[in-house]
Chains A and B, each alone.
Chain A
Amino acid sequence: MNTSYTLAELLTVNLARSFKDREVGFTGLVTGGAAALYGTAIPLAAMSLAKEMHAPGLTILLAGWSHNPDLSALDQLPDSEFDSLLRDLPCEAHMMSYPGTWAIRRGDIDFGFSSAVQVDRVGNINSVCIGEYEHPKVRLVGPILQPEHMALFGREYVMLPHHHQRNFVDQVDFISGVGHPGGAAGRAELGLRGGGPEWVVTPKCILDFDRTKGAIRYKSVHNASDRKNPDMFFLDLDPSAVDITPPPTTEELDVLRRKVDPKKVLLR
């Protein structure tokens, strides 16, 4: 087992293993440092790695519209959704209008990635405001595509660039994307046919959900020492007996470094 790998490589490999052949994965264009790494770069690297390893028929939707972009043509991570850089990046299809290539309500998109300022104990996410909706302490950008990500996609990976207790709350201040309130039965009662958050990925751990109760829980921690880290105990979360996030294999690291990201554009 190779023990020399970065946190970003560990997350990339674990995400990649969870994608299946012929799936369609959707990633937005998140900007700025760690947010861009977790929201865009790691998802792109993971989908590319899956295509090389076991899922050659997977379709990558970059910024939602560039189908299977040629990432090897990039010298930098794009930071604009709709300007000339991304327009001129070679790809298999452009979505030029709405409605366009994908039929989002028919379930064309198997999985997506989102970020959030708050996640609560049933996996609801919030990107709208902190504090009371009508008089917020902090007004954020708005729901964007989160309602669709969390209701219409087959599953969702919520990517948090920091593992702060303040990002995990009892109840989010605004539900812009629905988690698993009341578990699978609760989602069905809300008229949601499937989907919802699969994992919440942070620099410390991967969380998933008890689908009967709908409760968030630790799935794995990246470092054994975090099983006893007092900062990891909040809400009802208890890391003391969870697995260690499975490390990359030598082959995965080799493909990732040599084929997927040889110029270190994605995982710097």
Chain B
Amino acid sequence: MNNNNSKSKVGTLAEAAALIADGSRLAIGGFAIYQHPMALLRELVKQGKRELTVVGTVNGNDVDLLAGAGCLKEVETSYVGLERFGLAPNFRRAVEAGELKVVDYPEVLSFDRFRASQEAMTFWPCDYLGGTDVLAKNPAIKAFQCPITQRTLYAVPPADPDVVVLHAIAADEDGNVLFPKRHLLPQGLDLNMGRGCDVVIVTVEKIVSKGYVKRHAAQNLLPGYKITMIVEAPFGAHPCPVLGRYDTDIAHFEAYATAGKSVETFKAYLDEYVYDLPDHQAYLEKVGAHRLLNLFETDSL
């Protein structure tokens, strides 16, 4: 740890990545192409993690990056795509090659699986899967008879990740994580994830003082006792946006989607933005201060 305070939960990206063993079930905060902890995911790629299962809700370049770097064994989610930037090229290639298994869940049930983990339930019930291949192709979903009404219901397994990784705007060294007052569904779903796991790593734009947290106590939605490690990573979601701080780096996403078109061009992307760089600071310098500052947006906490 780079901090002498025994209570401090502050660590580095390398220390955070070391908490994620090969073969882990990993839940990644953010949604589609929004607010993923990309700096930490790049560190996982750098450390050569293997055989990870990502359990998610709506995924995008987070899963695609890990798929393209060969870190994944399985993905359980409702969506993997790059929204306006098209299909997720590395994910698609890995699945079509039979190298990556997908377990497809409906979007709302993918959310409910994290509610089940939060409530320490062994399943989440639902009644609307009849006739779908979501049900037919997934032996982990079990039909049962409602003991009250005798209707057929379906027991959906909980998400139960080993580790949750999130990216947020601010936290203090005790691990109290602040959320913007006007947040949207991705930040709300981060809370469901963060509240349902014993190992929660949060990368933040800025580590703030304890006094700052106390002035914003109503926005401390993940208190310190829930958190395993805090890592300061400015622009840590880049090229994704962070609501209230910066917008999507459109040019980077376009270059990413183009690079993903072949194994060779994506290898070059990984060399350029991950393997050939010593750390996150070098990544930010490579992207460039001018580019990063142009992404700022101006909502406030």
Contact = CB atoms under 8 A, between A and B. Distances in A.
Interface of A: 31-32, 64-65, 79-84, 87-88, 94-98, 100, 104-105, 124, 128, 133-148, 151-152, 174-178, 181, 187, 189-192
A257 B60 CA distance: 37
Given A83-B247, A191-B151, A147 B96 contact: no
Contact of A174 (B34, B106, B133, B191): B133
B84 A96 contact: no
Interface stretch (B3-11, B20-28, B47-55, B73-81): B73-81
Interface residues of B, number: 57
Contact of B106 (A82, A84, A145): A145
25 contacts: A79-B83, A80-B83, A81-B32, A81-B34, A81-B83, A83-B243, A83-B247, A83-B248, A84-B241, A84-B243, A87-B243, A95-B185, A100-B188, A105-B127, A135-B96, A137-B96, A139-B102, A141-B81, A142-B81, A143-B104, A147-B109, A148-B107, A174-B137, A175-B136, A178-B130
A contact patch SS: loop
Interface of B: 31-34, 58, 77-81, 83-84, 86-88, 91-92, 95-96, 98, 102, 104-109, 111, 126-134, 136-137, 151-152, 182-189, 191-192, 241, 243, 247-248, 297, 299
A143 B106 contact: yes
A104 B109 CA distance: 11
B128 A147 contact: yes
B299 A84 contact: yes
Given A97-B188, A152-B128, A176-B134, A143 B78 contact: yes
B108 A148 contact: yes
B42 to A, nearest CB: 21
Contacts of B106: 143-148
